[in-house]
Structure formats: C-alpha cells, structure tokens
Structure 1
Amino acid sequence: MSKMKNCSRLDYELTNRKSVVVENGFSLKRDGNVGSSDSVEPQDADYSHSLPSLSDEIVHRILARVPVSEHWKLCFLSRSYLDLLKSGELYKIRKEIGIEEPSVFMLACGEPHWWTFDRHFNSFRNLPALPSDPCFVAGDKESLCVGTHLLVSGKEIEGVVIWRYELAVNRWCKGPSMIRPRCLFASANCGDFACVAGGIAMGTIMEVLDSAEMYNPKNKSWNPLPKMRKGRKLCSGFYMDNKFYVIGGQDEDGNNLTCGECFDVSNKYTWELIPDILKDAPTSTSRSPPLLAVVKNELYSLEASSNQLKVYLKKSNSWKELGKVPVRADHSRGWGIAFKSFGDELLVIGGAWNSYAGHGMMICTCSPDPHNDKELRWRFLGPGRNRISHFILNCSVMLA
C-alpha cells in the first residue's frame, strides 16, 4: 500500500522533468503523454521503510485494479513492477477478477501513427511507429483487437501481412499470417479468441472466399474453421449469443447478399444460414460493409444512407429504428466512420452534422434500450487538445 501512496509525489516529480525514459520503449514527456524511445533507463524506487511489505499476490491484485491508462506509472516504481507489466500477468489477473476496461485504438486519415484512448477519452497517447514498408503504410488496412493484441492486416510489397501490437510490452511484431491471407473480410472478437471469415483472397486469383479462421492470442496462431455456406466479400462480423455471425457483403458475381450466417463456437461443426437479415439494406455497391456493433448481447446497426441507429429484433428477424446518430455516416457512404461496441455502450466517431472536411472528429457514446422508445441520450467526448481528422481509417476496441 505504501507504494501506491507515493504515486502523487512521483507524478509531481515526473511531470516537472523534460523527459523520463524507462525500459521497453515507454517514455513520459512533459505534457504527460507517453511516447516511445529506444533508450533504456529503468527507475528503481525503494519505499520499504514506510510499511511492512505485502505478499506479491496481494500487491499484484492491488495493481491489477489500476486503470490501464495509468499502467505506465508502474514502470517508474520499481524494476519488478516493470517486469510484471511486461509479462502480461496483470492482464490475466484483471480478467480473473472480472475487470474489463475498454480502450480505443485508432488510425485517422493523415496521421502517421496509431492513437490509443482510455474509455473517457481523457488520457491518450500515440503507439510506437509501426515498422512496416511504405506499401503497408499507404494501403488499406483492417484491424481487430483480441486479448491484449491489436492485429492490423494489410499488404506489403511482398504480400499480405499482419502486424501485431502487444499492449503488455508496447511493441509491434510481425505475424502470424492467416492460413489464407485475405482482405475485405468479416471479423469479430469472440472472447478468448477472434474469428475472421470471407473476404477476397490475396493471390494470383482474386477469389471470393467462403473460408474462416480462428486466432488464439495465447499461442499466437491461426486455426481453420468450417467453410461458410456462401462466399462473401465486404461483409461484417460480430459475436452474439456465443455465436460468430457474418452478414451482408457481395458474392463472387458482385450481387449484394441480404442473408447472413452464424457459427456456434461451442459445437464448431457447421454454419447456420439466416435468410433476409438485411432485406431492407441499400443496394449501392460503393457502400461500406454493414456498420454493426453488439452491446449487452443486442445487435445494433448504423444505416449509412439515413444516419439511423437500428436494433435487431431477434424473434421477428427485423430491425427497429431508434433515432439518428450525431455524426454523418452518409458523408462517405459509411466509410470513415467508427461504430463500435464500447463495453456497455455504443461508440460512434466521425464528422459532425455541422462540420466541414478537415475539421476535427466528434466522439459520442450512448446506452440504448431496445425496449424503450424514448429519445436517445448521447454523451459527447473529445480527443483532448489534438485536432485529429474526422475520417477514421481503422478503429478497434480492446477490453483489458
């Protein structure tokens, strides 16, 4: 406990230095943001004279309750805390005691690096530079969070690759690649693992895929899943009722698919077809994949053509309108908008109704009630003093 009481004094000392650098690329700059550095200068502090020492187990459970956005401060307390953070053990304890804190990882148009925000968007920092080639940096990318990994898929000069950011060590690593590299695929965080399905094969033949795979963050490996009933590209995925769903998209002839299908992760044998789950969806081929998010096991969609928020009624296989969102999803036909599950809330990031191209983004959340017809109440947040483009290239939410 004495170690935690000294945090306020430590904060004062650190924020009055020009820069303090610790192991593994973490550094604290004068404005309080955490950056990256190649220097290594671990800081050991000894507070053992204050109170009798606690057991490691108790200390670890205390530290596990520290918000993820404050974990960088542990690096300054002692080398043992730094090693604990790098080992990933804190995140295992957090999961064991039921703490899930959403963090947002985002790449906006014109930004050279990824940003990460805490759940209140009060604390933010940029990730270390992604060490990929110029082809990957300039090209389209797709992202997915699972466990404490952020997976970013894109194309380098030599082919499709996945770069993996590991939260515990604040570092990018390459791989592992999917069994069948692809783009424009559906994906979802399914708890202890992630699933991808469909998309376009990245090879000599641009084939629309019906294959699916599962990523295990524990051993950093991909495993095959049974094939879907239909091949589809530009589709979307989500996890609900312990099932991985893939809906929408286009078939190999470019026809829009209004059906969906789901895979029960408990039996892992076959896909179940869901006819007409998107029967009222617009048919524009230049439209983005369906904008979908699951909150409290309810499925929501953001209709890009009308900016309407809708909830899926499972019993009737239909959609109910809840009202308009405060951002313009229709500005680029659904592209450049982040629409995500954010713990027990919906998160929407994009351009505001009264903003012009080049202005900063709008961030808002709400907790919709599918059984209540009252007007939606949106909570407006912001990215601090940074002016970041409202056109979001990639956005993923990590629960850690």
Structure 2
Amino acid sequence: MLVQPYVFVHSGGGSQWTMFDKGFKNFRQLPELPMHDYCFVHSDKETVCAGAQLIVVGRELEGIVVWRYELENNKWFKGPAMITPRVMYGSASRGTDAFFAGGINEVYQAVNIAEKYNADTKTWTVIHEMHKKRKFSSAFFLGGKFYVIGGRDENNENLTCGERYDDETNSWELIPDMLKDMAFTSSHSPPLIAVVDNNLYLMENSVSELRVYDRNTNVWKKLGVVPVEANITLGWGVAFKSIGDRLLVIGPSSSQSYYRRTVVYTCRPSPKVEEQIWEELKDCL
C-alpha cells in the first residue's frame, strides 16, 4: 500500500506518465508503456491505483486491455484482463483492492457488472451486480462502503440515483435522488467527486462550484467556487481528486484571457465554511 500520497499525471502522448509528490515539488518520469498501438495511444484511458500499482485501462486494436505499473519494480506489465472487459465504469480503491462497477462492454452496451481487483494476487473477482446498468458514472469509498453515483443508463438517460456496496454481505443498496439537484447536459463528464476526512465533495462542472454531501439529509451544501473553468469542457479533462487531507483540482484557468493555461489548485476543505481557501501550485506542470 502507498503510505505517502502520490499523483500520477498522463503527461503527453499515449505512453508518458509522471508521478508527483503531494506538494508537486518533486516528480519522477515513469518508463514508457511498452506498446505502439495507435488505437491505445489516441483513445481515452482510465486509471485507478491499487496498493503500489497504477492500473490503466483503454482500447487497443485487439479490444479493451489492462496495463499496470508496479512502483516497486518501476516497470509496466500487461494484464491480467478484466473478467468482463469494459470502459467508462465507476472505480475506486481501498488499500490493495480496486473496485470497478458498470461501464460499456466490448459490444458498446451499458452493464451493471462489478468486479474487484487485488494488487497482491493480481487477480479479478466478480462481485454482485448493481441494481442499475450505468455508464459514465463515478465511484468512491465512504464510511467503509463502495459507492457508485450518476452516469447514464442503457437508454442514455441521466441517473440521479446512487448505489452503495457492502463487501461483507456482497450486496448493493439503491440510494434514490443522490444527484437530484444537479444540472445535466447531454454530454457532461462523469461526476467530479472526491472524499476527504470521510466527507464527500463534488465539483458541479456547469458552474465550477464546490459542494459537500450530507448523508443524513441526502442534500448537497454549497461551499463556494472552484478556481477552474470546468464548464468549458463540461468537466472532461478536469481532475478533481483527494490527496491526503486536501482536495486537488487540475483544469483550465478561470482567467478571462483568450489563452487559458492549465492550473493546479489545492485546498483543505471544511464543510462548515461557505468559501474555501484555494492555493495555486505554480510551475508544477
């Protein structure tokens, strides 16, 4: 398991990755992925960490593939493949386990299938399927449970419900209206979410606004504006993550100039404060 938090950034081309420490003061270039597949280079890729491994999922000419970077070996390995290969799923990790739910399979259908990957054994295990088929969703761990929220169903309709998975009972609980107050467009990104100190935060990409979730009332509280313009790309290409006790956001600057540079900001969020104090990390990308 990674004790020190790190940030992995896809830094250009199809096979270039950079690892930063949490203050973005030190970095290390990862070795190139040992492949030259045109499809993989130019298609979307999804990532999650499990223990000391970076998992990258994308499409090669032969289909959906999994690559993993092992920190202790400083080396890339191909596989093992998912039991049901897919993309545009919801994923999150807890220790050496990474959970994957829903997504689009190899024949471009939305699914409710869920799997768990273990970094120690390098194996996949099928877990119970969700109540809803969903793609373009987001996932996280909160209170020891695995959550999947948002996305679109098999008819491409937006889902406002969430689901909570209990690993001990291998069962899902449907949570209605988790995103009932959010604005949706036909092509918005998966929900931009992060968990800090067991609080769930969301960046509402239509207005670049920070919100925190109250599990007791199923209500989102507004916490001020995030200093990036997520609405320009409808949330796509924006990173909104937790790193230690902070929120991290990477995206287009909110400057009104014609050229919008990519900026990096962090804050130590507080659900009790209406406006958060964001600190720009300059000259780190």
The bucket for the TM-score relative to the shorter chain is: over 0.9
2: CA distance between counterparts of 1:110 and 1:360?
19
- For 2:243, the equivalent position in structure 1 comes to 342
- The SS at the match of 1:330 is helix
- For 1:242, the equivalent position in structure 2 comes to 144
Task: Give 2:211's aligned amino acid.
Answer: K
1: CA distance between counterparts of 2:203 and 2:145?
21
RMSD: 1.6
Which structure has the larger Rg over C-alpha atoms? 1
- What's the offset of the Cα at 1:114? 0.9
Contact 1:136/1:155 (CA < 8 Å) preserved in 2? yes
- For 1:304, the equivalent position in structure 2 comes to 205
- What's the offset of the Cα at 1:267? 2.4
Q: Identity of aligned pairs, percent?
A: 48
Structure 1 residues 206, 111: closer, same or farther in 2, change over 3 A? closer
- For 1:104, the equivalent position in structure 2 comes to 7
Task: Give 1:182's aligned amino acid.
Answer: R
- What's the offset of the Cα at 1:371? 2.3
Contact 2:14/2:40 (CA < 8 Å) preserved in 1? no
**1:159 aligned to which of 57, 63, 67:** 63
- The SS at the match of 2:273 is coil
**1:142 aligned to which of 46, 55, 64:** 46
Contact 1:208/1:251 (CA < 8 Å) preserved in 2? yes
Contact 2:253/2:260 (CA < 8 Å) preserved in 1? no
Task: Give 2:280's aligned amino acid.
Answer: F
Of Structure 1 and Structure 2, the greater strand share is in 2
2: CA distance between counterparts of 1:309 and 1:110?
31
Q: TM-score, normalization: structure 1?
A: 0.68
1:15-94 to 2 correspondences below 5 Å: none
Consecutive unaligned residues of structure 2, counting only runs of 5 or more, are none
Task: Give 2:32's aligned amino acid.
Answer: A
**1:293 aligned to which of 181, 194, 197:** 194
- For 1:372, the equivalent position in structure 2 comes to 273
- For 1:130, the equivalent position in structure 2 comes to 33
Task: Give 1:301's aligned amino acid.
Answer: L
1: CA distance between counterparts of 2:182 and 2:189?
12
Q: For residues 171-195 of structure 1, what are the alpha-carbon distances to aligned partners after superposition, in whole Å with 9 as ceiling and x for unaligned?
A: 1100111110001100001223110
Q: For residues 114-149 of structure 1, what are the alpha-carbon distances to aligned partners after superposition, in whole Å with 9 as ceiling and x for unaligned?
A: 111111111112211111222111111100011000
1:315 and 2:219 aligned = no
- What's the offset of the Cα at 1:316? 0.4
1:251 and 2:158 aligned = no
- What's the offset of the Cα at 1:356? 5.7
Consecutive unaligned residues of structure 1, counting only runs of 5 or more, are 1-90, 389-400
Task: Give 2:75's aligned amino acid.
Answer: R
Higher relative contact order (CA 8 A, sep 6+): 1
Task: Give 1:252's aligned amino acid.
Answer: E
2: CA distance between counterparts of 1:152 and 1:110?
14
Contact 1:122/1:383 (CA < 8 Å) preserved in 2? no
1:203-222 to 2 correspondences below 5 Å: 205-222=107-124
2: CA distance between counterparts of 1:376 and 1:128?
37
Structure 1 residues 359, 168: closer, same or farther in 2, change over 3 A? farther
1: CA distance between counterparts of 2:258 and 2:121?
43
- What's the offset of the Cα at 1:354? 1.0
Q: TM-score, normalization: structure 2?
A: 0.95
- The SS at the match of 2:56 is strand
Structure 1 residues 359, 306: closer, same or farther in 2, change over 3 A? closer
Contact 1:352/1:362 (CA < 8 Å) preserved in 2? yes
